[in-house]
Structures are given as C-alpha cells and as structure tokens.
Structure 1
C-alpha cells in the first residue's frame, strides 16, 4: 500500500512540475511560529505561518487542516468562498498529508474552542514522496522509531517534548556555569591514550601519522592540562565514547559535561552541584519537584549523604574493608549467594569488582537524591586520597533513581603518586582487565610542571535527562540513537 501511495505522489509531483508549479520553493517568510500563533487573539490578521500537514478533514465547501512542527500544532480552515474555487480545487488535487504548506490569514476560535487560522492564501512548500505512518506506537515499532527517528519526532508527542527539554537543559547548564565565571573550552576527541575514566575505548587509526588512536572516554586529563596552563575554572560539553555493554542506562556515544575549579575541594563541588541542579530544574521545568516512577521527589529538600562502605554493608552484609584482596572479596560474595552476572569477573581488579557489586546490588535501591562518598582508592585512579584514611578518596557521586547523575572528586595533583597509581592500572590492564586505565606519560609530564589544588566533576546529559523526565531507556534521550545495521 505504501509503495502504491509513493508512486501516486511521484506522479503528482511530475504533474505539478509540468503545470509550472514550484514544488520545492526557495523560502517562505513567516511572522509567527506555530506555538506563538496558537496564543494570538481572535481577529489578528496577516498571520503568516508554515508547517507540515498532519491531517486533512474534507467537507463539502471547507477543509480543516492540521499543520505541525517540533514546537507546536495549529488548525487551518480553507473555505471555498474565502480563498476562491481555483485554490480550493488545487489543494484537493495536489496536497497530501506530509506535504509542507505556507499560509496567510486571520485568527479565530471555532465553536469547539480550538484556535484556527482562516486561510486567505497559501503556497505549496514541499512534497512528501512517502506517506507518514498511520500508527506509530507499541513495542513492535520500537526499533523502527529509533532507526527512523525523524518519523518518531513527527508522530510521538513524548519524543518531541523530551528532545525540546534536552535543548533547554543544555542551555540552562551552559548559562549556569558561565554565570559562575567558568570558561567553556574544547579538548581533543582523538587521543593517544584512553585516560580520564575506567572504561573500554573505541580504537581507530590515523593514516597520515601512522598511529593508533582512541576516541576519548572522557576529557578529564586535557581539561586538567588547561589548569596547568593557567585556567582556573573550565567546563566542556564533550562527546565521549565507551565501548561497553548496551543497557537502558548506557550509551556508547554520549555527551559529557565536565569541569574543573582550581583551589577547590570536593565539598565545594558538592555545594556547586546542588546549586546547579536546583537552578536547571527551576529554569527548565519551573519546579524542583520531579515525578520519578510515580514518586514525587523534591530536590529542594536535604539530600542524603552515605559512604561507599556503608551502602554495600547495608545491602549485602559485606564489610569491604575486611577484604583487601579481590579474590577473598569474590569468594565472600559467592558465600552469600550474590550473583553478579559478569563474564570476566575473575579478571577484574579490586576497584572494578567493588564497583560491580555496588552497581548490581546497591545502586538500584537509591531513589531520592543521595551523595555517595568515600570511594575505595582502587576505584578512583585520578582522585585525591583522603588525608585521614588514604584507603579512600575525597570523591562523591550523586545518585537518583538508581542512576549515577554526577561523578566528582578532589583531584590527585601529586605526579609521583599519580604515576604509581597509573602503573597499577597498567598492570591490571596487562592482566586482562580491559577497563583499567593506560599509562599516560604526556599527562604525567604536565603534572610535573605543577598543579594547584583542584576539584572536578562530570555528568552525562542523556543520563540526567533520563532521570528528570522519568524515562525508561536512555536511547530516548538522544536524537539519533545507534542501532544495528539492517
């Protein structure tokens, strides 16, 4: 059926061209957006708008047409005695649902209380050669919605609203940091080492230089190089790439917001991140109360603060401090019948094993905003050790609804200690831990020129949007999620 419709639309296109019609005109001047026009007073004349035709209802001497774009929808009225018989008949012969139209007319409200534009003149603005889907919902269409995201944007209100919210969220975050005197910067996507986070990188090859490169997993070490160079407050909207498993909370390509402040510690950053969250909630959603899984969570209330050790002990009964060796900790989880469901679990270092245990057992149970602090040092190769207990770091994560929203810490600025930790990570990688960090000699050299006290943070735009819009899968939080090739 769709193929037959496409054939007929192509035939119409050729006939329109043969009649001298401009089927793909250069432009059309509008004076209102659709979301603005719908709020105009009745009687306002000379309204020029444009959009895609989403529905047509035909009556004997009039037609109601709905046009739409990402921001809004408006009803049009075509009356034969108001636009003339020629234009009225022409619309019937040439226009299809999905085509673009530009119109001029006067606003009024129908008897059913719907804002409508009475069209006095129109212009054809573009032919859709394929018909729009009549129905676009349900599990059977999930993959098609991701593959043809442009159709999902047209047909699914929730998708439209979430992507608009993403744009507003990014603008709000940028405004917040600029208002707090942070410089927005850019750092390389192609890097020679996969440093800045514990994750498996994507690899590529530079033909001219003859070297293997990685797509960055985080902008961290380059942002810190900027601090070495004299910047004191920086942030970046950084495209990052991690070659890790697919899940409702993970993307292999995502947008990270990462920033650093010289002379701060992680407690200063905790205050900033709470202030940021409240600011973007008010600015983007006009409220600090968010519906999360049917529970209203008010971010303006006090946030819980809990240590990594305490949360694992509460949920598993295991005191991780009593198990300095990963093999003993692994055995204790088996003794307690805790199944972590990981293929290469015996190859993990202690830090990554503890992180896996926490993510599988503890994190899903944290719903309200919670600062998780005092991470084991094995889990934080770039974080500063706590002065009183060097086995833990001055670090925090913000957890909401079982998802990590923000990761932050006081940075390690001692180049000798940093070298020792990276050597440990390199040893783990050589022994099979694919997510361990690599040695980064260039970054260590930069550190040796001297670094001030620093605190930094990072968070993913998609993860944040997922939580704040009560979304079940992170794929819905990007415009064009990656799908397997057909």
Structure 2
C-alpha cells in the first residue's frame, strides 16, 4: 500500500515539474507562527473575523477535509497546530482544483490569509493564497494517529515527531532542562568545560568500551565511558568548580534504562564534601522541576512524586535492614543463606554481588527523591 502511494506521488511530482511547478521551492516568507497567531487572535469570538489583518504561516499538512467547493485542513509547525479554511471563490477555480488534486496530508504548505474563529469555535486562517512548499512521497503513519509501534518510533524519531505532538514537547522540555541546569551551575560559579571523546585509555571501571582505531598512530582508541579523569585534571590544574554535559558511550546491553550512547552531567568542586554535593543536587533538581512544571509535586505513572526540599536521607545499611531484616555487613555465609531463602540466583558468589542482589530486592521501595548514603565499599565503583 505504501509503495503504491509512493509511486503515485513520485509520478505526481514529475507531472508538477513538467507543468513548470517546483514541488520544492526554496523560500517562503512567514510573518507568523501558529503560536503567535494563537497568542494574537485567541480572544476572537465565534464567527468573528479579522479581514484587515494579513498573516502568512507554513507547516506540515496533518489532515484535509474537502466539502465540495470548500475545504478545512490542519497544518502543524514547531509550535503547534492550526486550522486552515480554503474556498473556491476566494482563491479561484484553478487554484482550488490544484489544492484538491495535489495537497495531501504530509505535504508542507505555505498559506496567507486572515484569522477568524469558526462557528465550531476553532481559530482558523481564511486562506486567500497558498503555496506547496514540499510534496511528501510517503503518507503519514497510522492514518495520522501516530506511531503505535514504539520500536519503530525510537528508530525513526523524525516520523515520531511528525505524528506525535508529545514527542516534540519532550524534546523541547529536554532543551529547557539543559538550559536551566547550565544557568543554575553557572550562577554558582561553575565553569562548563570540554573533555576528549576519544581516549587512549578506556577509563571507566568495569564498563565495556567502544573501540576504534587511529591510523596516524597505529593504535586503538576508545570512545569515552566517563569524563571523570579529565575533569579531575581541571581541578588539579587549579579550577575549583567545573562541569560537563556531554555524550558517553558504553558497549553493553540495551533496555529502556540503558542506551549505548547517553548524555550525562558530571561536575566537581574543590573544598566541598558530599553534604555540599547533596545540597547542590537537591537545590538544582527541585528548582528544575518547579521551573518546568510550576510546582514541586508531579505525577508519574499514577504516583505523586514530591521534589519539595529537603529530601529524605537514609543509610543504605539501615534501609535494607528495616525492609528485609538482614544486615549487609554480616559475614558472607549469612548473606548467601539469605539470598537462597529468597530464591535469588547468584551468578558470581562475591560479596559485592551478594550485596547488589540484596539491594535489588528493596530498590523499588524508594519512590520519593531520596539520598542513599554510606554504601559499602565492596560495591563502590571507585
């Protein structure tokens, strides 16, 4: 089905070119975005028109509804969606025929006209002229209801962004979160720095690195697992507060919790201890949540998460003992017996592995923002 549509649209594009119409023009003069139109004319009453106000905007056509000699359609730009209304007696018979024959969902369309509010109460642009800016060769997914296959959505993010408004909003929120974090740290005297992505030594504990090769030195190099060592060199060199937001790479499993390529924030501060770091983290995250959502309490998967400071602080040993009755500082034999009683399989019978397996039994009990303190040295990554 998709291949047939693609073939038809490819033929249509060639016909447009033969008729002297460029299906991919270089430029369109926009005077407004969908958001600015809504901001300016959102107060219009039902049936009210602003014929004296001329606006031009552009976006991807998400739906077309033809009713004889008139047509409603929806366009979407980076800021949102907006309805358009085109009528044969307003653009002329030839232009209206062109619209009906050649404008489809998925195309990018430029429109000019004036705003009004329809009888159904929707802010709309009454189109006096339009221009086809980009003819789509493929139809929109799932009849414009979005991608239902999340695997496809993750592989083809650009399609997911077209089909799902929430995906775009997540990207916007990610940008805003990173901007806020940078502003917060900069206001506290931190300096944003860069560290190498390619390293000769795969520093990063037990994590498996990605390996590449640099021909000029005839040596292997590794995509960085963590920026830690290079950031600490800044501290050695005299910098007192540094941070980096950047990509790290780990050649390991893939799940909804783990990606081989991921973004981290890592920071270091001289003359400070972990109480200072907890205060900084608590202040940064709680204020970030309030900045993004306007409040400290948000709902996630049906549960209210309260980021209001101060956050709870618990010692790992005390928390596990209160939940399971086992002291993780007990000898190995007692820990092993405990795991057997709970039918926990142990792949590697080391003390660190036993403590990790015990922790797995209670990890999900921590729902609210909590600092977990004083984990045993056996499971320390450093």
The TM-score, its normalising length taken from structure 1, stands at 0.72
The one-character-per-residue Cα deviations of 1:317-357 (angstroms, maximum 9, x if unpaired) are 3212122x5xx4662343432415x6x423xx533542343
- Cα 1:70–1:353, aligned 2, differ >3 Å: closer, same or farther? farther
Quote the residue 1:160 is aligned against: 168
Aligned length: 374
Shift of 1:208: 2.4
Quote the residue 2:342 is aligned against: 337
Shift of 1:241: 1.3
Separation in structure 1 between the aligned mates of residue 325 and residue 143 of structure 2, nearest angstrom: 50
Quote the residue 2:356 is aligned against: 355
Shift of 1:27: 1.6
Q: Specify the SS of the correspondent of 1:40.
A: helix
- Cα 1:246–1:329, aligned 2, differ >3 Å: closer, same or farther? farther
Is 2:291 the partner of 1:283?
yes
Q: How does 1:162-241 map to 2 (within 5 A)?
A: 162-241=170-249
Separation in structure 2 between the aligned mates of residue 221 and residue 315 of structure 1, nearest angstrom: 37
Contact 1:52/1:67 (<8 A) preserved: yes
Q: Which deviates more, 2-11 or 329-338?
A: 329-338
Q: How does 1:13-412 map to 2 (within 5 A)?
A: 13-41=13-41, 42=44, 43=50, 45-135=53-143, 141-323=149-331, 328=333, 331-340=336-345, 344-346=347-349, 350-358=351-359, 360-382=360-382
The one-character-per-residue Cα deviations of 1:183-212 (angstroms, maximum 9, x if unpaired) are 111111122333245523222332322222
Separation in structure 1 between the aligned mates of residue 115 and residue 267 of structure 2, nearest angstrom: 48
Q: Which deviates more, 37-46 or 253-262?
A: 37-46
**Structure 1 unaligned spans of 5+:** 383-486
- Cα 1:288–1:365, aligned 2, differ >3 Å: closer, same or farther? same
- Cα 1:350–1:200, aligned 2, differ >3 Å: closer, same or farther? farther
Separation in structure 2 between the aligned mates of residue 198 and residue 304 of structure 1, nearest angstrom: 30
Separation in structure 2 between the aligned mates of residue 284 and residue 263 of structure 1, nearest angstrom: 31
Contact 2:316/2:374 (<8 A) preserved: yes
- Cα 1:193–1:380, aligned 2, differ >3 Å: closer, same or farther? farther
Contact 2:33/2:77 (<8 A) preserved: no
- Cα 1:130–1:139, aligned 2, differ >3 Å: closer, same or farther? closer
Separation in structure 2 between the aligned mates of residue 257 and residue 35 of structure 1, nearest angstrom: 32
- Cα 1:136–1:309, aligned 2, differ >3 Å: closer, same or farther? farther
The one-character-per-residue Cα deviations of 1:142-185 (angstroms, maximum 9, x if unpaired) are 22222222221111233222222112111111111112221111
Q: Specify the SS of the correspondent of 1:118.
A: strand
The TM-score, its normalising length taken from structure 2, stands at 0.91
The one-character-per-residue Cα deviations of 1:289-312 (angstroms, maximum 9, x if unpaired) are 110231222211542111111122
Contact 1:69/1:154 (<8 A) preserved: no
Q: Specify the SS of the correspondent of 2:40.
A: coil
Contact 2:328/2:335 (<8 A) preserved: no
- Cα 1:136–1:107, aligned 2, differ >3 Å: closer, same or farther? closer
Separation in structure 2 between the aligned mates of residue 126 and residue 317 of structure 1, nearest angstrom: 65
Q: Specify the SS of the correspondent of 2:127.
A: strand
Q: Specify the SS of the correspondent of 1:130.
A: coil
Separation in structure 2 between the aligned mates of residue 137 and residue 252 of structure 1, nearest angstrom: 30
Q: Specify the SS of the correspondent of 1:320.
A: coil
